[in-house]
Copies of this chain bind each other. A is one copy, B any other.
Amino acid sequence: MPGDLPHDDISRAIPEEAAAPRDESALLARMLPHLRHGTEVEVGPGDDAAVLTLPSPRVVVTTDTLVEGHDFLPHATTPRWIGRKAAVQNLADVAAMGARPHALVVAISAPADTPATVFEELTIGLTARAEADGASIVGGDLGRAEQLTITVTAMGSLPVGQQPVRRSGARAGDVLAIGSPRLGRSAAGLALVLGERALVRTGADGRPTIMLRTVQDSSAAELLQWHDAPEPDLSLGWTVGRCAHAMMDLSDGLVRDGSRLAAASQVTLELDREALAPDVEMLAGLAAELGEDPCAWVLHGGEEHAMLAAFGPGEVPEGFRTIGEVRPVGPGGPCVLLGGEAIDGAGFDHFG
């Protein structure tokens, strides 16, 4: 849906409402009808806490926050996509332990004049992604803040006899693989936003219109959407990913996250330039237009949320593709190499 970007409008692109209901109960009345609960939910929203019966008492839990102005820019995304992203980044952490997600709770803080539509659209996005991975939204909290802030906590479970897939289990001789057909898309989309080449408008029906300015590359709109709401196949984590020796989700970039896996496992990760070449090639056109380095997008781009895993030789399952190998730790300590060389640049540090 790309269109022309109006030069005079980079302001908050959220539909107007004549008289938005703004007290808590009115907001909840807009949000709650979108929730659908699985059979494991005994008590949903509306009491002091939710009650659910998981398949096992071994609970996997993680939490992550999206903050307006830091983790998303309102003029470059939609509330529905923000909801999807808030869900997916937490679901990915559960999946990366080899666990199946079951439930989310969501805390939303927002300025007092935030239209009720924003809360409703966030809920639609959160619910859609949660449901796609078999999880329900079981509770939440609404409050005030100067910036729209969404904190999601995801819970999953592991069968009693199953080990969690940790970052520390990779060993020399393993194959390094990624559960995604392409890397670098989210970074490319971010470059469009930061280069002020893209704007997203939300229609009254919640549907987004992506407007691009002086961009020729035909994949630009798709890349922007992938940045705003990445859609990794997380089921790889709790299905075939259970056989991995080590696994994590890619949130801060291949090199930065790979370094964490390398450190936890006390190994070296050697990336295969040939294996990553198609990823770079598919981004080369847009990168040339923006004057950016597509290699950096592939190596350092965050927010892909794909599963990065180490498998035994010959054991890489369908859905994963080989991007390197695991070698013994060298004299310089655990690290990530490309063609035997150290890699320039770094991933994302929230406080760096």
The verdict on A143 contacting B350 (CB below 8 Å), with A54-B59, A61-B52 known, is yes
Set of chain B residues within 8 Å of A151, measured between Cβ atoms: 63, 65, 107, 141, 151
> Is there an interface contact between B62 and A97, defined as CB atoms closer than 8 Å?
no
Set of chain B residues within 8 Å of A147, measured between Cβ atoms: 145-147
- Smallest distance from the beta carbon of A247 to chain B beta carbons, Å? 8
> Is there an interface contact between B58 and A52, defined as CB atoms closer than 8 Å?
yes
A144 near B: Cβ within 8 Å? yes
The verdict on A65 contacting B107 (CB below 8 Å), with A60-B51, A70-B143 known, is yes
- Smallest distance from the beta carbon of A85 to chain B beta carbons, Å? 14
* 147-204 of chain A: CB within 8 A of chain B: 147, 149, 151, 153-158, 164, 166-167
Nearest residue (CB) in B for A52 is B59
- Smallest distance from the beta carbon of A107 to chain B beta carbons, Å? 5
- Smallest distance from the beta carbon of A343 to chain B beta carbons, Å? 19
Nearest residue (CB) in B for A114 is B351
Set of chain B residues within 8 Å of A53, measured between Cβ atoms: 57-59
Nearest residue (CB) in B for A112 is B351
A55 near B: Cβ within 8 Å? yes
> Is there an interface contact between B62 and A50, defined as CB atoms closer than 8 Å?
yes
Supply 9 further A-B pairs (C-beta < 8 A) apart from A48-B93, A51-B58, A56-B57.
Answer: A43-B97, A47-B164, A61-B139, A63-B139, A145-B147, A145-B149, A146-B146, A146-B147, A153-B153
* 24-61 of chain A: CB within 8 A of chain B: 24, 27, 42-43, 46-61
A109 near B: Cβ within 8 Å? yes
A103 near B: Cβ within 8 Å? yes
A352 near B: Cβ within 8 Å? yes
Nearest residue (CB) in B for A95 is B48
> Is there an interface contact between A49 and B93, defined as CB atoms closer than 8 Å?
yes
A232 near B: Cβ within 8 Å? no
A96 near B: Cβ within 8 Å? yes
A87 near B: Cβ within 8 Å? no
A67 near B: Cβ within 8 Å? yes
Tell me the complex Cα distance, A230–B236, Å: 45
> Is there an interface contact between A349 and B105, defined as CB atoms closer than 8 Å?
no
> Is there an interface contact between B70 and A61, defined as CB atoms closer than 8 Å?
no
Tell me the complex Cα distance, A107–B92, Å: 17
**8 A–B pairs (Cβ distance < 8 Å), ordered by A:** A22-B352, A27-B351, A48-B93, A48-B167, A49-B93, A53-B57, A63-B106, A144-B350
Set of chain B residues within 8 Å of A97, measured between Cβ atoms: 43, 47-49, 51
> Is there an interface contact between A96 and B62, defined as CB atoms closer than 8 Å?
no
Set of chain B residues within 8 Å of A23, measured between Cβ atoms: 349, 351-352
A140 near B: Cβ within 8 Å? yes
The verdict on A48 contacting B96 (CB below 8 Å), with A58-B53, A63-B107, A151-B63 known, is yes
Set of chain B residues within 8 Å of A50, measured between Cβ atoms: 60-62
Tell me the complex Cα distance, A167–B166, Å: 40
